[in-house]
Structure 1
C-alpha cells in the first residue's frame, strides 16, 4: 500500500461503562434530586410542626436509613435481587413508614410515597399494583388520628400515590437509559467484530487465490527460462499483473468496496489452469448480474480454483456458469481429488465456510464434496438479481 493509506489507523470507539456516560449519570442525578427533595419536604414539615426535641432527633436518625433503602430500591436491576433480600428491605421500609406515623401523623405521610414506589420497583405487577393502591388508602389513617376532614384524607392519599408513581417512573427511566447505553456499546463491539471478520475473510479469499497464482506461474517461469525465454517473459508479465491486481483488491477490501466480475474470474481461472497444464472446459451463459451476486460467484470461483491447485492433482476441469429459470448456477468439477486430504495448517480450512456465508448472504446455497472416481464438485446456486438489463450473452 502507498504511504498515504498504509500508515492510517482507524479510530475504534472504546466501549464506555453505562455508569460513566452522560445520559445515565443525568438520569440518576434527577432521581436522587427527587428523593432528596421529598425527604427535605418531610423534614421541613416536621421541624415546623412544633414537635418535641426527642421527635426531631428520632427523625434525624431515621432519615438516612429510609433514604438509603429508597436509593437501594431505585438502582437499575433492583427487581432482579434475590427474593429474601427484597423481602427484608421492603419489610424494613414498611416498618419505618407506618410506625413513625404514631409519632408524626400527617407530617410523615410523604414517606408512604417512597414505599409505594418501592413496591412497584421490586414486586411483580400482580402484587405490586394492589399493594400500591393499598398504601394510598392507608393514608386515611393519619388524618383520622388527627381528626381531620375526609377531603384532607383524599388529598393525602392522592399526593402519596402520585409522588410514589413519579419516583417509580424516574427509577425505571434511569434503568432504561442505562440499559440502552449498554446495548449500544454491545452493538458497537459486535459491529467492530463483524468488520474484522469481513476483512479477514476478504483477505483470505483475495490473497489465497493471488498467491497461489503467483506461486504457480513462478514455478512455470523457472521451468521455461532455459528452453522458452520469450514465453517466460510473457508469464513474468502476467505475474506482475496479478500482483498489481492483488494490491488493488486488498486496498478496495480495506475500504469496504470490492466488486468482482464472474466472467473476468473465469478468464483468469482458465489462464491459471492452462499454466498448470490442466485442460479446461468452460461454459458461460449469463445475463447481467447485480454487483453483490456477481462478486459472490466470482469469489466462489476463486476459492474453488485455489483449492483445486493446492489440494488436487487434476488434469481436467469443468466450469459452468449458466442461468436457468431465474437461478444462476456455478459448477466447478475436477478430477484428481484426494478424498483423504486434510489441511494441517492452523490457518487453513475456512475457505468453504466463508463461501457458504457469502452464498447465504445473497440468498443462495453452496454444495461441495468428493464424488466417485476421484472427482471433486463444487456447486453454487443463487437467485439472479439483475441491475437493469435482461439481455443474455453467451460464451
Structure 2
C-alpha cells in the first residue's frame, strides 16, 4: 500500500500543493476538448453539415488551442516555483493565435460558412475564457491580470462587431468573456499566488533552521572570544616581560613564566567549561522546547515524560537526543504528529521519539544510512554505554530510540573532558 501512495505521502506540504495545482491545470486541456470537440460534428444530437475541410479545421484549432494552453500553463507554473523563466513568447503566441482564430470564426460567420450562432458563440467564448486564465498564470500583478482578461474579451467581441453582426452581439460576447474569463482567471491567479506563498513558507522554514545553526555558532564564537581574548593578551604581555627580564639576567623572569603557565592552564580549563556548556543539554528544557517548537510549526506534539531522578550525564545526553530528533522532525518530511516518551526500565531508561509524515532520504534517516546528527548522538550515548536505534517503523513513520543503562556510572562529559583544546 505504501508503494502505491508513497508518491503523494512522501512529499512535503509545498510539494503536495504544487502537484495538485499543476495537475488541476493539466486537466483543463481535456476539459476544453470535451467541451468544444464535438461541436463541429453535431448539434443537439444531429450531425452538422459544415463540409469536411471546415470541420477538420475547427477540430484542429480546438486541439491546437488546448495543447497550447496546456504548454503555457505548465511553463507558467514552472516560473511560479522558480524553476523556469517566464514563458513570454509562448504567452504572446497563445494570445496572437486566439486573436487570429476569433477573426477567422467571425469572418466565417459573416460569410455564411458558419450559420450556427451557438457554434460561433461557443468557439469564441470558451477559447477566450481558457486563454484569459492561461495568460493570468504568466503574470504576477493583479492589474496586469485584469488587463489580460479585458484584452481577451475585446479580442473576441470586436471581430463580431467589426464584421457587421451588430453591437448587441459584440456586447453579449464581451460580457460573456468578461464574466467567464474573469471567474476562471481569478481561480488561476489565486492558485498561482497560493503556490508561490507555500513555496516561500517552505524556503522560510529551511532558512530559519539554518539561521538557528548560524546563531548558535556565533554565540559559541563570542563565548570563546570572551574567555580567550583577555587571557591571551595577558600571556603575551607577561611573556614579553619575561624575555626582557631574562635578557637582563634577572631571576624575576622565571616567576613571570610560571605565571604565564598558570594563566595558560586556567585558559584551558575555561575553554573546557565553555565547550562542556555548549555540548550539554538539560532534558526537561529540551522536552518543553520540543513541545513549543513543534506546536508552533503546527505539529501535534505529545510528551509523556514523568519526572525521573537521572544522573546529570544521562539527562544531558538524552536532552541531546530530543534536540536532534526534534530538528529532524522539522527539517525532514511533512509530519502531523510527534510523540515523545520517556520510560524507566529494569536496568536503565528508554527514550523514544516517533513522528509520521517521514520522508526517506539519503543521509537523513534512510534505512541503513545515517546522517552526521545521528552519528553524533551515537557517540554521545556511547560515552554512557547507551545505544541508539533510528529508522522507519511503519509506512511514513520514523522512530528514534535511545537506551541508557543506569547501573553503569559515567557522565556525558567523560569523553569530552579528555579532549585537549588547542
| TM-score normalised by length of structure 2 | 0.42
| TM-score normalised by length of structure 1 | 0.44
